[in-house]
Amino acid sequence: MSSLRSKSAQDISDLLDEYGIKHGPVVDSTRSLYERKLKEAMAKGKKGKASPDKTYYREEEEEVTYEYRTPVRSDGAGDSGSYMRSRPEWSEREFEHETSYSSYLRSKPEYRGKDFVDEPAMYDTPSTYRHSYLNSTPMKSQDAPKAPKSSRLIPLWVQFAFFLAVAVFLYLVFSNMETNESLKGIE
Amino acid sequence: MSSTSQKHRDFVAEPMGEKPVMALAGIGEVLGRRLEEKGFDKAYVVLGQFLVLKKDEELFRDWLKDTCGANVKQQGDCFGCLKDWCDAFL
């Protein structure tokens, strides 16, 4: 690759036209920009456009989701297979969650961006759970080799403890609301 | 304009005259200093560069990124600011 620096402005201009790069006059202030563009174009041209268009999954929860579900989905071979296997495990949680937490969790969208997305996705509706589950499924193969470590801002047990604490609290509030009547209906 | 900042509106409202480069939308203190170090100490010098790049968005964005390390948003803000200014006054 001959040095672009030594080329005349006209040469640079011609090279830019060759590579089909739209450009203005090659003056002092634009020269380095055009040299860089030509360098990139040449590199691309030789390799036959091997553009590293990695789709970075910036959402950490995708990785975390798999980290958490690894014990459940040890195989991960077929989508439907593992999906049905882990479903009864989560259905229990869903049951107690849907009773009192759907409204609570809906008001906490901030967790979605962190590790907590596991739980809210299930609390809302079974269909939402299914959706997020399938969403994360195709990415598993790509995420598993990528970054196996899961960085949790809040440890999972803390989240569960907090969740249960709020559940108990809400139950107490609800059960204490009707002091005049008997508590039969609540049971 | 869907959402322009106050800085953008202020800049586009009048001829830029001798306004410093930090008056441009998207160019704050850090980027402004970097541009000044490279010789682009006034808004009109950046305008000059914008025009030499034929008001092309991609070229200007690339140039801005190379020269002062502007991120995508800053590039877009600055480009939009200059473009609107040119539409109004050039």
Q: Domain spans of chain B?
A: 6-89
- Over 50: is that where the pLDDT of A106 sits? no
Pairs of CB atoms within 8 A across A/B: 27
Mutate to test the interface with A, among B54, B57, B61, B64 (most CBs of A within 10 A): B54
pLDDT at A54: 54
CB contact under 8 A, A22 and B49: no
Nearest residue, CB atoms, B66 vs list A22, A23, A33: A33
In a domain, A36, yes or no: yes
Q: In chain A, what residues touch B66 (CB-CB under 8 Å)?
A: 32-33, 36
Q: Using 50, 70 and 90 to split pLDDT, how confident is the model at A83?
A: very low
The answer to whether B13 and B23 have CB atoms below 8 angstroms apart is no
pLDDT at B11: 95
Mutate to test the interface with A, among B50, B52, B65, B68 (most CBs of A within 10 A): B52
In a domain, A26, yes or no: yes
pLDDT at A129: 47
Contacts of A75 (CB under 8 A, 6+ apart): A81, A82
Max CA pair span of chain A: 94
CA distance A63 to A115: 9
pLDDT at B3: 83
Decide which of 3.40.1130.10, 3.30.56.10, 1.10.150.40, 3.30.70.1520 is the CATH code for B6-89: 1.10.150.40
Q: Is any Cβ of chain B less than 8 angstroms from the Cβ of A28?
A: no
Encode pLDDT of A14-66 as tens digits. Answer: 999 999 988 999 998 899 999 999 999 999 876 544 455 555 556 555 455 55
Q: How far is B47 from chain A, CA to nearest CA, in Å?
A: 12
Q: What is the CA radius of gyration of chain A?
A: 28
Mean pLDDT of chain B: 94
pLDDT at A183: 54
Encode pLDDT of B37-73 as tens digits. Answer: 999 999 999 999 999 999 999 999 999 999 999 999 9
pLDDT at A140: 47
Q: Considering its fold, how many domains does chain A have in total?
A: 1
pLDDT at B2: 60
What percent of chain A shows pLDDT beyond 70? 37
Q: Which domain holds residue A24?
A: 9-44
Task: Return the structure tokens found at A184.
Answer: 């039969």
Encode pLDDT of A85-98 as tens digits. Answer: 444 444 445 444 44
Q: In chain A, what residues touch B37 (CB-CB under 8 Å)?
A: none
CB contact under 8 A, B66 and A22: no
Looking at residue A100, its amino acid is S
- Over 60: is that where the pLDDT of B18 sits? yes
What percent of chain A shows pLDDT beyond 90? 22
In a domain, A119, yes or no: no
- Over 70: is that where the pLDDT of A107 sits? no
CA distance B61 to B74: 9
Q: Is any Cβ of chain B less than 8 angstroms from the Cβ of A13?
A: no
- Over 70: is that where the pLDDT of A172 sits? yes
Mean pLDDT of chain A: 65
Average confidence (pLDDT) over B3-28: 94
pLDDT at A56: 57
CB contact under 8 A, B56 and A24: yes
In a domain, A35, yes or no: yes
CA B82 to chain centre: 5
